[in-house]
């Protein structure tokens, strides 16, 4: 994982996107300008999903939503403590 992955996890966690009902669409995450191009978000979120850190929630219109999983929260907390 890299810095931007942790930032994406932190955004999902801070905005309480922790289950399928509270997931955020990419456009909602993108509002937090972290210096990543819009199309890169999809790639990063797909990789985080494949590794179990985020999951897809209910759709918002035509857009997927994403939320942080328990594994993602645990990893984020460990990183904040400096043990990752």
- 14-65 confidence digits (pLDDT tens): 999 999 999 999 988 886 567 778 888 899 999 999 999 999 999 999 999 9
pLDDT of residue 54: 98
β-pairing, 54-56 vs 65-68, is: antiparallel
Mean pLDDT of 1-19: 93
pLDDT of residue 77: 92
Buried b (16+ CB within 10 A) or exposed e, 33-58: eeebeeeebeebbeebbeeebbbebe
């Amino acid at each position: 994982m890299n810095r931007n992955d942790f930032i994406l996890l932190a955004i999902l966690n801070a905005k309480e996107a922790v289950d399928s009902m509270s997931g955020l669409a990419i456009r909602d995450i993108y509002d937090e300008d972290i210096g990543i191009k819009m199309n890169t978000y999809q790639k990063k979120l797909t990789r985080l999903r494949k590794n179990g850190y985020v999951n897809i929630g209910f759709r918002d219109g035509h857009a997927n939503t994403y939320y942080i999983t328990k594994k993602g929260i645990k990893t984020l907390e460990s990183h904040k403590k400096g043990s990752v």
